[in-house]
C-alpha cells in the first residue's frame, strides 16, 4: 500500500552513501534511472546501455560503457578484468567518479579527488592494464573522435593521431635520442599533460535541487 511504504533498501543506501559520497536523494534518483535502464531488473548488461539514443551518438560510447564493467573502477584494490553484468552498487561506484564536489574541501582532499578522476580516465583508455596508454590505444581514441568516413580520409586521421602522439612524447620525455623507444603514456605523464586542466570542475554531474516552494501552484 503506497502511503505506508518506507524507502526500499534503506540500510543498503546508508552503506552506499558512505562508500560513494552521494546523498540519499541522489542515490534514490540514480536507483530509479538504473531500474529504467535495466527494465526493472537487478543487473545491467552492456546491451541495456544501447537504449539511450544520446549515448549512441557519442563517438567514445564504447569506452564509456566499458568503464562501467571494468573492475578497476569498483574501488577494490588490485581488481582487474571485466564483468558481464553489474548491480546497482557497482553502477553507483562508477558514477561516483563524476560526483559533484562538496564545497568544503581542503586542498589535500581536492588533490585526492583529482587523482581519482584522472585514474578513472586513464583506465578508460589503458585497456590492457599494463600501466601505459600505448600509441595504438591513443591512436584508437583519436580515430574514434574523428570521422572514419566522409570529412576526413583515413590517412589524415592517422596523421593527426601521430602528430598528437609526438607532441605527447615531446612533452613527457623532453628531447629523445634517435634510438630511444617511447613506450607510451604512463600515469605520471598523463597527470603532467593535464596539469592545467580543471578536472575537478569539468568532470562533474550537477544534480538539480528542487525547491519545495514551487510545488504548490
Partner 1 sequence: MEDPWGTALALFQVWISILLCLVMLPAMFGLSLGVTGVYIQILVQILEWATLRIQRGRKEKPSVPIPLPNGIIHRDGGSMAQEMLEVRGSRPGGDFTLGDVFYFYKEGMESLVDDQVTQCFSSEELASWNLLTRTNQNFRYISLRLTVIWGVGVFVRYCVLFPLRITLATISVTWLVISTTLVGFLPETSAKHWLSEVAHLMFYRICARGLSATIRYHNKENRPKKGGICVANHTTPIDIIILANDRCYAMVGQVHGGLMGVIQRSMVRSCPHVWFERTELKDRNTVTNRLREHVACEDKLPILIFPEGTCINNTSVMMFKKGSFEIGGTIYPVAIKYDPRFGDAFWNSAKYNMVSYLLRTMTSWAIVVNVWYLPPMTRLDQEDASQFAQRVKSAIALKGGLIDMAWDGGLKRARVKDSLKEEQQKMYSSMIVGPDGPSDLAATPPLLDLQD
Q: Which of residues 167-206 bind partner 1 (CB under 8 A)?
A: 167-169, 176, 179-182, 193-194, 197, 202-203, 205-206
Subset of 127-166 contacting partner 1 (CB under 8 A): 135, 141-142, 144-152, 156-157, 159-166
- Which CB sits closer to partner 1, 81 or 150? 150
Instruction: Yes or no: say if 161 and 143 are a contact pair by the CB < 8 Å rule.
Output: yes
Considering only the stretches 14-22, 26-34, 74-82, 108-116, report the one whose residues sit in contact with partner 1 under the rule CB under 8 A: 26-34
C-alpha cell at 13: 543506501
Could you say which of 16, 58, 116, 136 contacts partner 1 (CB under 8 A)? 58
Nearest approach, Cβ of 217 to partner 1 (angstroms)? 8
- Which CB sits closer to partner 1, 77 or 208? 208
Nearest approach, Cβ of 87 to partner 1 (angstroms)? 16
Could you say which of 15, 41, 59, 89 contacts partner 1 (CB under 8 A)? 59
C-alpha cell at 78: 588490485
- Which CB sits closer to partner 1, 108 or 141? 141
Sign for the pseudo-dihedral over CA of 73, 74, 77, 82? negative
Backbone region of residue 75 per phi and psi (left: phi > 0; alpha: psi in -120 to 50; beta: other values): left
What does the alpha-carbon distance between residue 56 and residue 84 come to, in Å, rounded to a whole number? 19
Could you say which of 21, 28, 87, 101 contacts partner 1 (CB under 8 A)? 28
C-alpha to C-alpha distances, 9 to 24, 99, 196, nearest whole angstrom? 11, 21, 42
Residue 66 in the binding site for partner 1 (CB under 8 A): no
C-alpha cell at 122: 586513464
Instruction: Yes or no: say if 71 and 47 are a contact pair by the CB < 8 Å rule.
Output: no
C-alpha to C-alpha distances, 165 to 136, 152, 177, nearest whole angstrom? 10, 18, 16
Could you say which of 51, 76, 82, 109 contacts partner 1 (CB under 8 A)? 51
- Which CB sits closer to partner 1, 131 or 153? 153
Amino acid at each position: 500500500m503506497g502511503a505506508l511504504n518506507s524507502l526500499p533498501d534503506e540500510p543498503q543506501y546508508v552503506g552506499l552513501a558512505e562508500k560513494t559520497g552521494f546523498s540519499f536523494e541522489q542515490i534514490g534518483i540514480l536507483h530509479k534511472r538504473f531500474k529504467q535502464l535495466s527494465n526493472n531488473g537487478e543487473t545491467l548488461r552492456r546491451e541495456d546501455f544501447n537504449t539511450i539514443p544520446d549515448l549512441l551518438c557519442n563517438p567514445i560510447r564504447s569506452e564509456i560503457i566499458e568503464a562501467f564493467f571494468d573492475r578497476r573502477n569498483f574501488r577494490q584494490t588490485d581488481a582487474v578484468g571485466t564483468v558481464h553484468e553489474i548491480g546497482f552498487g557497482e553502477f553507483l561506484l562508477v558514477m561516483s567518479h563524476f560526483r559533484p564536489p562538496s564545497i568544503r574541501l581542503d586542498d589535500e582532499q581536492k588533490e585526492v579527488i583529482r587523482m581519482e578522476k584522472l585514474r578513472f580516465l586513464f583506465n578508460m583508455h589503458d585497456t590492457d592494464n599494463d600501466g601505459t596508454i600505448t600509441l595504438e590505444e591513443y591512436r584508437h581514441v583519436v580515430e574514434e573522435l574523428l570521422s572514419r568516413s566522409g570529412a576526413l580520409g583515413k590517412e589524415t586521421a592517422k596523421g593527426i593521431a601521430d602528430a598528437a602522439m609526438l607532441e605527447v612524447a615531446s612533452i613527457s620525455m623532453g628531447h629523445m635520442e634517435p634510438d630511444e623507444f617511447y613506450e607510451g603514456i604512463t600515469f605520471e605523464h598523463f597527470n603532467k599533460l593535464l596539469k592545467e586542466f580543471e578536472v575537478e570542475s569539468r568532470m562533474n554531474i550537477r544534480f538539480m535541487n528542487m525547491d519545495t516552494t514551487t510545488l504548490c501552484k
